Structure 1
Amino acid sequence: MSKTAARRRARVPKKLAPHSDGLPETPAFGSWLLGRVSESQRHRRIRIQVMLTLAMVLANMIGIGAVVLLLTIAIPTPSVFTDAPLWVTWVITPAYAILALTMGIYWITRQILVTLSWAIAEREPSSDEARNTFLAPLRVAVFHLIAWGFGALLLAGVYGLVNISFIPQFFFSISTLGIVVAISCYLITEFALRPVAAQALVAGTPPQRWVQGLFGRSMLGWLLGAGMPLSGLALMSTFEITRGTLTKVQYAIGVVTLSTMGLFFGFLLTALQAWLTTTPIRVVRVALKRVEQGDLQANLVVFDGTEIGELQRGFNSMVTGLRERERVRDLFGRHVGRDVAAAAERERPQLGGEERHVAVVFVDIVGSTHLVTSQPPKDVVILLNQFFAIAVDEVDRHHGLVNKFQGDAALAIFGAPNHLECPEDEALAAARAIADRLTKTMSNLEAGIGVAAGPAVAGNVGANERFEYTVIGEPVNEAARLCELAKAQPKRLLASASALDGASENECAHWSFGDTVTLRGYDQPTRLAIPS
């Protein structure tokens, strides 16, 4: 496959993938009959050719059978068997039907292959080629109208030479069923060409269609399902009023026959039109359900130029926007913290703060200067990322917020912006977990950890154009001083006694009180607590 084809195929979204949530796997083009998006163009060409050939042969054979019923049962007078020469009934009529069907199917499939030559060659279509692709169903319908119309004129003329009463009988029967067959083939061709129409839609906007939008399709369904049968009954009644050649029984049989055919073709065409309309809508519905459940990866294949295509495009635009929003949210959350990002989404953030009771954990690497100078920069970055990954993981697990990374240090807050019942418990447990994991997994690195608690001001500081969420107050300073002091302790972890005073009994059981010291920059002494 060429590079151009690969690019083109990549631009057509893949079908919705199967999920383990119970939702069905949904075909990209609305039906399994049309194959998969990843199907090769050769297989797609064969699929379309076989599908169109079988469908059009079947539609024309049903149409021919319906004409025979009309001419022999619904309108039996004059009779094609007793009132016309046998060579006309048994030679000319079947010969034209076979010739028109054979040549017609050959011409149509050949023209379809010529129209889709760009897809078979796996290249981008030109504007004319894309336009011809969209017009292919209309051309198929026009060919059927011409073939059936010529047959109506030919047979009505030949039989009319024998008996002039044959003219309205043949012209009405053949032309009526010809319209039904032509429109059926239009809908079938439009369905079969969905895969290549999707590729052509990527290249350009479709031209105006013969049947405009869902409204036009609905009116077409009414015309074929109700309008044509009622018109047939009206014409048959008109023939009988003007000619008076039918008995009551024959007229009743004709009415029943026309009504039955109307019900059959009306149901068939309405079901076909409804199926063609609802299958892509069902794909959109399943896709919306998956988006509702959080899956933002599936796009829809746009294969329709009507409102359904606009719905498919709208879904893809919506999912693209949601993916972009989720990407920005993720990026924003990584920079400022998930909780801060969620709070900013809930309400417009403003400058200012409020007093909150918080617990603070400060973590700083021991001997960071030696670490930086003794190893290559790349290794230092890898080591720092491993260190911060442990800190962030434990802080998140204990419902805290990593508020800042300062070189080789990290500041974590518990109790802001989200309220916690006991921020001391979470902070002390997180500090112990960080110290334990660093000892077990990073024996070549040591870090001091300080924990403090108390009232602080939490909020957005900076300017209207650029601000950040932070916490300012005594617990932050105290945790930083305890972190410095902890670097000289065996377990590298210290907390203030005031932090333990607000903790639960279960958490306090993991700690014991130590010495009383005066921290740097403080006038009053602070009693220390160390892990047991």
Structure 2
Amino acid sequence: MARTIDIAFGIRTLRLLPVLGCLVGVGSGLLTILFVPMPFGRLCVIAVSSLLVYGGDAALWVGPTRARLRVLDTWSRTHTRADAAAAWRAVADLPFAPLRRRFSYPLVIALIVAWNSFGVRLVGLPPQAFLLFFPGSLLTWLYWLLVRFYLTEVLIRPVLAEISAELPNGAVVPVARLTLSRRLLLAVPGPLVIVGTVVAGLVGPHTIVTIAVGVGASALVAAAIISWPMVLLANSMTAPMAHLRAAAERIGTGDLTVRVPIVSVDEVGVLAHAFNTMTDGLRERERIRMAFGTYLDPAVAEHILRGGPALAGAELEVTALFLDVRGFTGYAEQRPAREVVASLNDLFELVVPIVRRYEGHVDKFVGDGLLAVFGAPLPRPDHADRALAAALDVAAAVRRAPGQELQIGIGLNSGQVIAGNIGGAGRFDYSVIGDAVNVAARVEAATRETGDTVLLSEHTRRLLHAEPDELIARPGIALKGKTAPVTLYAPTNFSSAD
């Protein structure tokens, strides 16, 4: 709400800029008394006539400004992203739009010429006195253009901030139209010339030569003395900013090793330090993410880092894949522990990528086996199809692997589970709990009785969207913990008949 009030206040103030311009015009007319003493009545006539110049300038300002405010008004009513991007570009262009109307320059200059000619005749000066007043009037108008430009930039900042909050990153790409060096060169030397003109009028004598000397001297001082410090000052600010921009672009590509050199003791140096602190934090976060990805499945790690899962867990329908090594106890007795571990790691090196390829995740390694889950933490409507496809690919990969001595069995079962944090006292694991998981382990155990590599339950078979060409039924299988025998199914390519 506060930000909306700031925007309304900024827009109302923006619309007062023509009034401020007219006040600048009246002030420039009143400065005439510095050069020519005159009665108060004539001075007022000259001041009021200056409104013609600045009123014309204000009229030329209204058109491009109003067109861009209409785009802003459209966004304020719709608040859509497409309108937000257009509104941001329109508002950001507000300071520049009036300056691009090239026909306005000769028109306003013509008004200044007419105004000065009228003033010279009004106070009874010779025609050549026009050269006394025209440069100062022209400089004052250019000074007003500069002030109006900077005021507009200040007033539109809260508006741009509000719009940016609704834009996705990259929706708008700002372009540096007016560099910092040019801003400083316009902001300091230009007004210095105006000051020199005013001082010449105060000191006198009020002749064309005196004014010309005052204006020329101030312009020379601005060019020879003031401009160089401005260029150096701009460079001292823009060079570190260039480092910051280059570093930010490298971070955007994923390079978190970049650091920005701290080369100053001003606000830019503080900004560089804050930037380096930010990259340190990003590297730490990436290190944690990589550690999570090593000891947790990457899908689960990403889910946790994004704010889930809840402690209470979520009820989901999943397909559990339980894989176990047959005859592992006898195999482990006949080989050194290091060789046993290496064999298991080689096996899991084949299995885990296949599970990830089908967007499942390895819930846990259980000794010589593993439990993989499809449909959690992100729900998948085709979790049964993914699990069966992964099981078939795993079986085929293990069969083809050269030197692979371990024989595996895979059991699949689907059902409702609770997926969430399991643990306590600050130590949790993300896991799935439910009878569907227990049954998957029992289905895998049944492969030892049937001799099949892959078995799936009736529930999983019913959930398949695309059933394999042929599933061989294995009826009357007794599962541990189940009172009645069940029917399991074996894919033809990995059945005991193969």
TM-score normalized with structure 2 length: 0.55
1:60-106 Cα offsets, whole Å, 9 max, x none, are xxxxxxxxxxxxxxxxxxxxxxxxxxxxxxxxxxxxxxxxxxxxxxx
Q: Distance in 1 between matches of 2:208 and 2:368?
A: 103
1:383 to 328, 332, 343: 343
> How far off is 1:508 after superposition?
2.9
Which has the bigger relative contact order, CA under 8 A and spacing at least 6? 1
Matched, 1:454 2:453: no
Distance 1:458 1:299, change over 3 A: same
1:158-192 Cα offsets, whole Å, 9 max, x none, are xxxxxxxxxxxxxxxxxxxxxxxxxxxxxxxxxxx
8 Å contact from structure 2 (residues 196, 214) kept in 1: no
1:100-127 Cα offsets, whole Å, 9 max, x none, are xxxxxxxxxxxxxxxxxxxxxxxxxxxx
Matched, 1:361 2:321: yes
1:373 to 333, 341, 344: 333
8 Å contact from structure 1 (residues 225, 265) kept in 2: no
Q: Which residue is equivalent to 2:431?
A: 470
Q: Mark the runs of 5 or more structure 2 residues left unpaired by the alignment.
A: 1-180, 493-498
1:134-213 aligned within 5 A: none
Q: Distance in 1 between matches of 2:417 and 2:224?
A: 80
Matched, 1:291 2:291: no
SS at match of 1:352: coil
> How far off is 1:388 after superposition?
1.6
Amino acid at match of 1:307: E
2:299 to 322, 339, 343: 339
Moved more, 320-329 or 462-471: 462-471
Matched, 1:410 2:370: yes
> How far off is 1:314 after superposition?
0.9
> How far off is 1:239 after superposition?
9.5
Matched, 1:427 2:387: yes
Distance 1:489 1:286, change over 3 A: farther
> How far off is 1:491 after superposition?
4.9
Q: Which residue is equivalent to 1:213?
A: none
1:10-34 Cα offsets, whole Å, 9 max, x none, are xxxxxxxxxxxxxxxxxxxxxxxxx
Moved more, 434-443 or 218-227: 218-227
Q: Which residue is equivalent to 2:58?
A: none
8 Å contact from structure 1 (residues 225, 269) kept in 2: no
8 Å contact from structure 1 (residues 351, 463) kept in 2: no
> How far off is 1:297 after superposition?
2.6
Q: Which residue is equivalent to 1:498?
A: 459
Q: Distance in 1 between matches of 2:353 and 2:471?
A: 22
Q: Distance in 2 between matches of 1:223 and 1:292?
A: 34
SS at match of 2:260: coil
Amino acid at match of 1:271: V
1:305 to 265, 272, 286: 265
Root-mean-square deviation (CA), in Å?
Answer: 3.5
Q: Which residue is equivalent to 2:274?
A: 314
1:438 to 398, 408, 425: 398
Matched, 1:325 2:285: yes
1:30-179 aligned within 5 A: none
8 Å contact from structure 1 (residues 352, 461) kept in 2: no
Q: Which residue is equivalent to 1:399?
A: 359
8 Å contact from structure 1 (residues 500, 508) kept in 2: no
Distance 1:238 1:472, change over 3 A: closer
Moved over 6 A (4+): 217-224, 226-241
Q: Distance in 2 between matches of 1:264 and 1:430?
A: 77
> How far off is 1:494 after superposition?
1.4
Amino acid at match of 1:374: Q
SS at match of 1:296: coil
Matched, 1:526 2:454: no
Amino acid at match of 1:398: Y
SS at match of 2:313: strand
1:226-278 Cα offsets, whole Å, 9 max, x none, are 7987888899999987xx9xx97598457425513423544443233213311
Matched, 1:481 2:442: yes
1:129-173 Cα offsets, whole Å, 9 max, x none, are xxxxxxxxxxxxxxxxxxxxxxxxxxxxxxxxxxxxxxxxxxxxx
SS at match of 1:404: strand
SS at match of 2:216: helix
SS at match of 1:483: helix
Amino acid at match of 2:439: E
Distance 1:346 1:313, change over 3 A: same
SS at match of 2:255: coil
Distance 1:228 1:361, change over 3 A: same
Amino acid at match of 1:440: R
> How far off is 1:497 after superposition?
2.6
Q: Distance in 1 between matches of 2:317 and 2:327?
A: 32
Q: Distance in 2 between matches of 1:401 and 1:410?
A: 11
Q: Mark the runs of 5 or more structure 1 residues left unpaired by the alignment.
A: 1-216
Distance 1:301 1:487, change over 3 A: farther
How many equivalent pairs are there?
Answer: 311
Q: Distance in 2 between matches of 1:219 and 1:395?
A: 59
Q: Distance in 2 between matches of 1:522 and 1:348?
A: 34
8 Å contact from structure 1 (residues 447, 487) kept in 2: no
SS at match of 1:461: strand
> How far off is 1:458 after superposition?
2.7
TM-score normalized with structure 1 length: 0.52
SS at match of 2:315: strand
Q: Distance in 1 between matches of 2:298 and 2:284?
A: 17
Q: Distance in 1 between matches of 2:459 and 2:334?
A: 39
SS at match of 1:508: coil
> How far off is 1:402 after superposition?
0.8
Amino acid at match of 1:437: A
Q: Distance in 2 between matches of 1:396 and 1:510?
A: 26
8 Å contact from structure 1 (residues 493, 530) kept in 2: yes
Q: Distance in 1 between matches of 2:315 and 2:188?
A: 74
